[in-house]
Structure 1
Amino acid sequence: MSSDEEIFGKRPKEYFQVKEKKTVTFIFSCLYMGFMGFIPIFLGILGFMKIYFPGASTWFFVSNIVLGILMIIGAIATFNFFKMGIYLFGLTLILDILFHLSLGFEELDAINGLYLFIGFALVPIIPRWKLFK
């Protein structure tokens, strides 16, 4: 028995054996990632209409829209099995969180999105990592 098995127990080997490339859970996780990209775009549009944070400057809303577009590009690249897509989505999500926290906005939608991305979206993606380019 190896030291890893002593610490973590015996891991099922079939978790990393991929039978189908794009399963329903993989498609749903990519759709979720794309949906998370529409939230900053929607908030940016509401900001331009002076509904969301009416006192904020326009560069804040433009940067929200740009981050949302980058998230959607990351979701599409993930769906097409590019490693860059997962990195791009994760980086823009973290940038969105840091951006809101640095400006003092206490909204937790991006932080909840990070938890759901780690817990929901990465579960069907990790076994397919060897298929990504």
Structure 2
Amino acid sequence: MIKNPLARALAAALLGAALSVTAMPALAGIKDYAFELTRTEAKVGEAVLSVRLVDKRTGKPVPDAVIFAKRIDMAPDSMDEMTSTIEQISSTEPGLYRFKAKLTMAGGWRLSLGAKVQGETGTVEDKLVFKAVK
């Protein structure tokens, strides 16, 4: 038993601090989020690509992210300079992000995305590979 009042107060403060640290929820980091393609193939021509932004810790979709960077190219087939047009279109499902792209030829394509997740610092960046087929 601690008899010194100062030592007793210090022990109580240390115990309280230790208990409050373990009771705090784990904070997410930007590396806890990732984009996933819903399909790994698309038809050549006008295509709609759908990707889901997920929290890797829970597997749940992340709604309301702001996608500010998007690029589509044929880097998987060693043609980085072969790019195409891409535009974001609306989606009715939370955490699902859709893009309309013109896939000019069959082969491997890479969709590069950059997004901000509300409440997080940093940018979620992913490069997703899929195949365009005739």
TM-score by shorter chain over 0.5: no
Name the structure with the higher helix share.
1
After TM superposition, the score normalised by the length of structure 2 is 0.22
Name the structure with the higher strand share.
2
After TM superposition, the score normalised by the length of structure 1 is 0.22
